[in-house]
Chain A
Amino acid sequence: MSTQSISTASAGAFSVSGLMIVVASELAGAAFLREFLLAEDWRYVVALLAAFGVALVVMQSVPAIERRIENAFAAQRRAATIVAVLLVFAFPFALGGNTYALHLCVIAQLYAVLALALNFQLGSANIPNFATGASYGIGAYASALLALNFGVSFWLALPAAAIVATLSGFLLGLPSMRTRDSYLALVTIAFGVVVHQLLNNLEFTGGPNGLVGIPVPELFGHSFASPLVIFGVQLPSQANFYYLSAVLVAISILFAGRLHNSRVGLAWNALRADDLAARCQGINTTWYKVLAFAVDAFLAGFAGTIYAFYVGYISPDNFTFLVSVTIMTMVIAGGMDNILGVIVGAFLLTLLPEKLRAFSDYRILFFGVTVIAFLMIRPQGIFPQRLRRYGGH
C-alpha cells in the first residue's frame, strides 16, 4: 500500500492540471455531442465525424496523451463525477428547445443502458447474446400490459417489468449451461425470433399493431407530457424523459462499475479467458453464465419500460433481431468491457443513422458498411478494455 501514498503525494502537484484535463475533456465531449445533435447540414456532420476520427487516430498513435487523460480521471474521480453530473443536468438547456435533439438523447441513453446491460455478458464474460432486444421488448410489453390492463402506475410497472424480464433472462440463460459459442449464439437468436413472433401473433399483445395508448407517467402531480420548468426556464416535455433515462444510465454505470470491480466481475473475466481454468479456481461457471443473462435482462427490462411509456405505443417491430444486433455492435464497436467505450458506442450508433438523413434511403446500407469498416479498422473498439487498477496503479 506504500505505492498508494506515493501517488497521493504526487497527486498534489498533479491535481490542478489533472482537474483541468478532466474538466476540459468532459466539456469537449459535451460540446461535441451538442454540435453533432444540432448539426443540420450533412457536410457538417461528416466534418464532425472526421474530427472524431482524427482524435481517435491521434490517441492511438500517441498513447501518452491517452494515458495522461486516463490518469487524470483516475486521480480526480470525484471531481470528474461531479462535473459529469452537472453537464448532463445542464445539457438540455444548451439544446435551445430543439425537441428532436432531446428525443435523440433519450433514445441514445436507453441504448446506452442496453449496451451496458449486454456488456456484462459480451464484454465481461464473452457470452454471445442476440436476444437483448427481446428482453428489452419483454420489459416494454410487460409494463405496458400492466398499465393498460390493470392501471398499474409507471413507477410500479418499472420494477415489475424488470422482474419479468429477469425471469425470462434466467430462462434464456438455462441453455447456456450446456451450449456455447456459435451454438449458444443460435439459441439466443432463436429465443429472440420466438419472442418477436409471439408478440406479433398473440391476441393480448395486440399482434403486429402492438399496444397503443400507454399512459404518460406522473411524478408528484407533474405529468411527463407537460413541459418541464427548471429555474424559470421552460424545457420541452421530452426533458422529463431525458432526466429519467439519464438517471437510469447513471444507475447502470454504477451497477457496471461496481460489478466490474468485484468478485463477480473477476469471475466473469476469468470464464471469458478460460472456462476450464476458471472452474478449477472454484468458480461455478454455469451459475455465472446464467447470472450474466439475468443481469442483462434486468437492465434491458428497465430500458424497455421507459421506452414504452415514453413513446406511448409499442409494436413487435421495435424489438427485432436487428435491434439485438445493433446493441451487440454498440458493445463491440465501443470497446468490450469498457464502460465509457460502450456508452460512446451506443450514442454513436444511435445518432449516426439519424444524422445521415440526407442519405435517407441509404441509411441502413450506410449503417452496415460502417459496422463492417469499424470492425476491420479498429477491432478492439473505440476504447479498448483496460486492466483493473488497485491503489495507485
Chain B
Amino acid sequence: MEAPVVLSGEGLTMRFGGIVAMAEVSFELRRGEILGIIGPNGAGKSTLLNIVTGIYRPSSGEVWLEGERLNGIPSHRIVSRGIARTFQSSRLFTDLSVLDNVIIGRHSRTRSGVFDAIFRRGRADRELAESAAIAEELLKGVSRDLFDQRHRAAGELPQADRRRLEIARALASEPKVLLLDEPSSGMDDADTDALMDDIRAICAARPELSMMIIEHDMRLVAALPHRVMVLDYGQKLADGPYEEIRRIPRVQEAYLGRKAAQHA
C-alpha cells in the first residue's frame, strides 16, 4: 500500500504581468518520499517552490498540505504548518552565529514574546535553552564538523557548510515537508557526495519526512529521489522514476541535452 499524500498542487499557474512562469502544474508528494524536480533554467522550478512556501500567490490553482488548503496563507504561517525550505543562493543570517541560525529556525516551534522575555524570564530562558539544545543536536546530526563551528559567524563558513547549515536550520522547524533548492550548486563532486550522504542520513533518521529537491546534478537526481518531475517552460513534461523519465526523448532534448539523447 502506498503512503498517503502529504503535499499536493492542483493546476498551479503563475503569471507575472504577461509572462506565464508556470502553467497548470499538478503534483503529489507522499509521506517519506523524495521527489526530484529537474528542468532547464527558467523552467519554473523555483517558482513552484515559491508558490508552495507562500512567497508567491499563484494566479490560479491550489496547494494542499494534508487536507488543508495553503493558498493565501502567508509564508511565515506555512512554516508552522510543516513546510521548510532552503534557498538556491544560501540565504543564511550571515552576521549571526551558526547556532543562532538554527535556533531561529525553531521560531515557529517556540512561543515567547516581548512580555515573556522581560517579565517571565525563567520561562523565556528555559525555552531558549531548550531550543539551543535541540539546535546543537541537529547540528551534530547533520555534521559533526558544523557542530564544532557553532559559535562562529555563519558568514565565515565555507560553501559546503553553508548548505548543511541551511538544511539544519530548515529541519529545526520540525517540518513534514522539506524543500531543497539546488542543494549541490557551487559544490564539487566530493562535496556533492558528502551532501548526498547527509541527505540519506537525514531521511534515515526521519522516515516520515518528505522532500522535494530541485537539482541540476544528474548524479544526485539519479541516486536520491524516488520519483522525478520534469518541468519545461513552466509546464510539466514528465513525472516518474528516473529510469523512466530519462528515456523520454523530449526530456532528453529539453533537459539532458542532445548529446545525452544520442547516447540513449
Q: What residues make up the interface of A, taking CB atoms closer than 8 Å to B?
A: 254-255, 258-259, 261-267, 269-270, 272-274, 276-285, 291, 295, 385, 387-388, 390, 393
5 smallest beta-carbon distances between A and B, as pairs: A282-B108, A282-B79, A262-B117, A273-B93, A277-B91
Residue of A at shortest CB range from B152?
A387
Any A CB within 8 A of the CB of B242: no
Besides the known contacts A263-B113, A266-B100, 17 further A-B residue pairs in the complex with CB atoms under 8 A apart:
A255-B118, A262-B117, A263-B127, A269-B95, A270-B104, A270-B107, A274-B91, A276-B91, A278-B104, A280-B55, A280-B84, A280-B87, A281-B173, A282-B76, A282-B77, A285-B76, A390-B132
Any A CB within 8 A of the CB of B185: no
CB pairs A–B below 8 angstroms (18 shown): A254-B118, A258-B117, A259-B117, A262-B112, A262-B124, A263-B107, A264-B117, A266-B104, A266-B107, A267-B104, A270-B104, A276-B91, A279-B76, A280-B53, A280-B75, A281-B108, A282-B76, A284-B76
Q: Is the CB of B91 within 8 A of A282?
A: no
Q: Is the CB of B92 within 8 A of A277?
A: yes
Shortest beta-carbon distance from B76 to chain A in Å = 5
CB proximity to A under 8 Å, residues B93-129: 93-97, 99-100, 103-105, 107-108, 110-114, 116-118, 121, 124, 127-128
Shortest beta-carbon distance from A153 to chain B in Å = 24
Contacting residues, chain A, for B162 (C-beta < 8 A):
none
Q: Is the CB of A385 within 8 A of B95?
A: yes
Q: Is the CB of B100 within 8 A of A388?
A: yes
Residue of A at shortest CB range from B169?
A281
Contacting residues, chain A, for B127 (C-beta < 8 A):
263
Residue of B at shortest CB range from A266?
B104
Residue of A at shortest CB range from B94?
A273
Q: Is the CB of A264 within 8 A of B79?
A: no
Residue of A at shortest CB range from B113?
A264
* B contact residues, total (Cβ < 8 Å): 43
Q: Is the CB of A282 within 8 A of B80?
A: yes
Residue of A at shortest CB range from B116?
A262
Shortest beta-carbon distance from B239 to chain A in Å = 26
Residue of A at shortest CB range from B75?
A279
Do A388 and B93 contact each other (CB < 8 Å), given the known contacts A276-B55, A284-B76?
A: no
CB proximity to A under 8 Å, residues B147-179: 151, 153, 169, 173
Shortest beta-carbon distance from A175 to chain B in Å = 18
Choose one: A254, A259, A261, A388; the contact of B114 (CB below 8 Å).
A259
Q: What residues make up the interface of B, taking CB atoms closer than 8 Å to A?
A: 53, 55, 74-77, 79-80, 84-85, 87, 91-97, 99-100, 103-105, 107-108, 110-114, 116-118, 121, 124, 127-128, 131-132, 151, 153, 169, 173
Choose one: B79, B103, B114; the contact of A280 (CB below 8 Å).
B79
Bound together, the chains give a CA A262 to CA B123 distance in angstroms of: 11
Contacting residues, chain B, for A281 (C-beta < 8 A):
76, 79, 104-105, 107-108, 169, 173
Contacting residues, chain B, for A278 (C-beta < 8 A):
93, 104
Shortest beta-carbon distance from B215 to chain A in Å = 19
Bound together, the chains give a CA A264 to CA B117 distance in angstroms of: 8
Do A388 and B97 contact each other (CB < 8 Å), given the known contacts A261-B128, A266-B104, A282-B173?
A: yes
Shortest beta-carbon distance from B111 to chain A in Å = 8
Contacting residues, chain B, for A274 (C-beta < 8 A):
91-93
Q: Is the CB of A269 within 8 A of B112?
A: no
Contacting residues, chain A, for B128 (C-beta < 8 A):
261-263
Do A277 and B151 contact each other (CB < 8 Å), given the known contacts A263-B117, A390-B132?
A: no
Do A263 and B76 contact each other (CB < 8 Å), given the known contacts A255-B118, A270-B93, A270-B104?
A: no
Contacting residues, chain B, for A385 (C-beta < 8 A):
95
Bound together, the chains give a CA A254 to CA B121 distance in angstroms of: 11
